[in-house]
Structure 1
Amino acid sequence: MSKVNVLLIVFVLLQLTQLSSASAKNLTAQKGDYRFLVAGGLRVPELLNYTRFMVSLRLRTATKYFGDNHYCAGVIISYRWIVSSAQCLVYITKLPRRPRTIIAVIGTMNRIRRSPTTRLMAVDRVVVNLNFTLYGTNDIGLIRLMSPLVLNARVQIMALPTEPPPYGSRCIVLGWGRLYNNGPYAAMISQVDLLLYSEEQCQKAHPRYTPGDLCAGDKDKYDHDPCSGDSGGPLICNDKLVAVVSWTLGCGQLDVPSLYTDLYHNREWIKAAMEGQCSLSVLIEFKILMIIYLVFCYLL
């Protein structure tokens, strides 16, 4: 057996070890005070109430201070489930993260300060749409909390959409992401007002557009956009949750709106994932790894 084949076998075994140790945890489903803070965004007092629906997703431990491990956002959709973008919930291999590597922080407006309502919640399940793993589409994922939430004035559930997106509406995006491209992360949550593009406009703006993608932007204020750290956060139109931030391609770039994942389009997948209809996911990932290995062996 060649050295290359040995290395490939080791790689596959390491991946399978990761999968097997997390098999019961990680599942992949198939089916006024105004201040510039989101890039180009504002802090608007009356909109801060939306923070009661939001989650700061963080790596397991902070390095220097509370909140410096924030990397994505999410939205509370039930007592135990949080919706986010798939890219926030996977490793570089696009396989789901181990639940113990993620902490969900709820009940806080300030990313770097604890408040009496701040809670750090452990995660016991990570679910990622299989289409994202295989094709990079359907950028949506769910995490299940180890224990149910206790609702209060700062922690609330936001209902999933029951109708298609209201194209042409003005919407808002909230997050703790970078204030501008390559800039620092926001401490207090910030928001930006954007126009929800039509499907035709979105397809023209993004050649890689696929069904289930949404675009939002502001041609007159191109520096208004979600940025790094905002992925997984909510796009809210007419006081209703419509989508989560997917790819922050804009981040202040001219004529390049960011992409969002349409939650109404993915409503059946969300329902199936929350009902636990994902028991074969680890076997599917095993097959994917074996196919990759066999292809490499054949080519060599």
Structure 2
Amino acid sequence: MRLFLLIGLYFVLSLKGVLADSENEIRRGVYPYMAIIYYADESVVVSSGSRFVRSAVLIRPEWLISSSLETNDTQLAFPRKTLLARVGAISLDVNFTFNEDEDEQEREIIQIVRPTNFSASSWWYNDITLLKTLLPFNMTTAVGSTALSPKRDSVDKTCYILVFAKKYANSSDEKVLMQLAVELLPPSSANCGAYYRKDTTICASDSDENKHVAYDTDFCYGNSGGPLICEGDVIGLQTYVNTCKPPYLYQLMSAWDDFISCGVDDKCLLSQCANICEDIDKDTVMTVETNKVMPISTTEAPKMLVMDMPSEDTSEEERISLPETTKAKMTAGNESEKPTPTASSTAEVTTGTETTPVAITENEDKSTRIIDSATSWPKEKFEEHRKKLDEADDSDKMERKTNVEAQRHEVKKKARNAAASHVTGVAGLFRSLSFGVLFLTCII
């Protein structure tokens, strides 16, 4: 009987140990708003040499909120580099493998919004960024948005942070989504340190609940921008200005209501939000800048910057290939040797590496006129330049293309491995149960 009790106790403790190892790991769909931000280009790294990554929270189908993407030792690669957002993931490997079969979704970032007074040299004071995706995320059981809490009275309560971290320091290269407990401290410089800022930040220390949890102590790297959750609500974002040492600092969401409202409603350019937020777009619109109107001289007509006119020796075939604007000027030149003085200005259209000056008269809209390059340049020059533009455009498209398709071939392999591992674990558990039942039957 004593032997039976010892074996039963060993079985219960073993099972409890298995559950304890995974109790801090997050199942898919528990926190569907948890996201990561990273660059498709693997060469974009932080000062330590590791690949750039941030955590984030999905607050609308097309909007996420995270920490700053630029610090005093990390430059902002956006919009030159393609920035991606992924939601629905509960694990990350070193290759950032995308698992579409596991309900993960990925979108390209086309706009970031940050505080107007943001400074890379003191980024921790405004460590918050809004990110807009090209297409909204599809809301599923694994992917969903959440509202930010206006709470400010969670002091002295146990809260949780979500981080992607290794279960053990050197166990594998894969990071899993975990929740770690933290104890909020009364907000003050004495408790929170020199980086604390009144009304916008709070801080916390380690919780005793984490003493029996095995995880990498360098969990903070790559998890800036992750959520601080108190009583089920997201009340803050993680800011690791002290690296992984407490007290941990958090941006308080209730302090950024105006910034969030101006950003997600696209009002940063309006007067009421101009001093609150600024945005950076992925694709900039080409504009035509004009000089001031040239004064009219009483002695001679103003000189206009136009294309070189063909000489009288130009053949008829070459004249036919010239743009219509050039033909018109040739005709005007034959009718009168001296042009009539008119007020004019010039605009420069810059495309690629060449600049073409084009005359604009006083009757034209100088701020919105779009110059058709096909009728502004000679045929040979236009074709050569157009070829260069096409090559540059193809290169840009290759850069902007996400790595989703390239990674799909790894999905099935990883899914099969995960399924095999799950089956092996279940089989081991059933063998243990069968052994216990058999042993009990023999004794009885």
TM range (shorter): 0.5 to 0.7
Residue 259 of structure 2 is aligned to residue 269 of structure 1: yes
Gaps of 5+ in 1: 1-31, 37-41, 284-300
- In the TM superposition, what whole-angstrom CA distance separates every residue of 1:237-264 from its partner, at most 9, and x where no partner exists? 000001111125252x4xx311111111
For 1:295, the equivalent position in structure 2 comes to none
Task: Provide the secondary structure at the position in 2 that maps to 1:173.
Answer: strand
CA distance in 2, matches of 1:250, 1:83: 21
Task: Provide the secondary structure at the position in 1 that maps to 2:109.
Answer: strand
Cα distance, 1:271–1:219 mapped onto 2, change above 3 Å: same
Task: Provide the secondary structure at the position in 1 that maps to 2:176.
Answer: coil
User: 1:179-258 alignment to 2 at 5 Å?
Assistant: 187-200=175-188, 203-211=190-198, 212-218=200-206, 226-247=219-240, 249=242, 251=244, 253=245, 256-258=246-248
Cα distance, 1:91–1:273 mapped onto 2, change above 3 Å: farther
CA distance in 2, matches of 1:182, 1:215: 29
Find 1:101's aligned residue among 78, 82, 87: 82
Task: Output the TM-score relative to the length of structure 2.
Answer: 0.47
Q: How large is the RMSD of aligned CA atoms in angstroms?
A: 3.3
Any conservation in 2 of the 1:52–1:154 contact (CA below 8 Å)?
yes
CA distance in 2, matches of 1:227, 1:79: 26
- In the TM superposition, what whole-angstrom CA distance separates every residue of 1:248-283 from its partner, at most 9, and x where no partner exists? 5252x4xx3111111111111111111222236479
Residue 154 of structure 2 is aligned to residue 172 of structure 1: no
For 1:123, the equivalent position in structure 2 comes to 109
Cα distance, 1:179–1:44 mapped onto 2, change above 3 Å: closer
CA distance in 2, matches of 1:177, 1:144: 26
Larger Rg: 2
- In the TM superposition, what whole-angstrom CA distance separates every residue of 1:210-254 from its partner, at most 9, and x where no partner exists? 121111112656997851111010000000001111125252x4x
CA distance in 2, matches of 1:78, 1:52: 12
Task: Output the TM-score relative to the length of structure 1.
Answer: 0.67
- In the TM superposition, what whole-angstrom CA distance separates every residue of 1:163-199 from its partner, at most 9, and x where no partner exists? 3241111111111146689998652111200111111
For 2:437, the equivalent position in structure 1 comes to none
Cα distance, 1:51–1:225 mapped onto 2, change above 3 Å: farther
Amino acid of the structure 1 residue aligned with 2:108 = A
Cα distance, 1:205 vs. partner?
Answer: 3.3
Any conservation in 2 of the 1:178–1:229 contact (CA below 8 Å)?
no
Amino acid of the structure 2 residue aligned with 1:270 = I
Amino acid of the structure 2 residue aligned with 1:71 = V
Task: Provide the secondary structure at the position in 2 that maps to 1:104.
Answer: strand
CA distance in 2, matches of 1:147, 1:249: 35
Task: Provide the secondary structure at the position in 1 that maps to 2:31.
Answer: helix
Cα distance, 1:78–1:89 mapped onto 2, change above 3 Å: farther
Matched residues, number: 237
Any conservation in 1 of the 2:167–2:175 contact (CA below 8 Å)?
no
Cα distance, 1:184–1:72 mapped onto 2, change above 3 Å: farther
For 2:127, the equivalent position in structure 1 comes to 139
Amino acid of the structure 2 residue aligned with 1:151 = M
Higher helix share: 2
Cα distance, 1:94–1:52 mapped onto 2, change above 3 Å: same
Amino acid of the structure 2 residue aligned with 1:43 = N
CA distance in 1, matches of 2:77, 2:261: 19
For 1:153, the equivalent position in structure 2 comes to 141
CA distance in 2, matches of 1:175, 1:141: 18
**Percent identity (aligned):** 21
Stretches of 4+ moved more than 6 A in 1?
A: 178-185, 221-225
Q: Which has the higher contact order (CA 8 A, sep 6+)?
A: 1
CA distance in 2, matches of 1:102, 1:80: 14
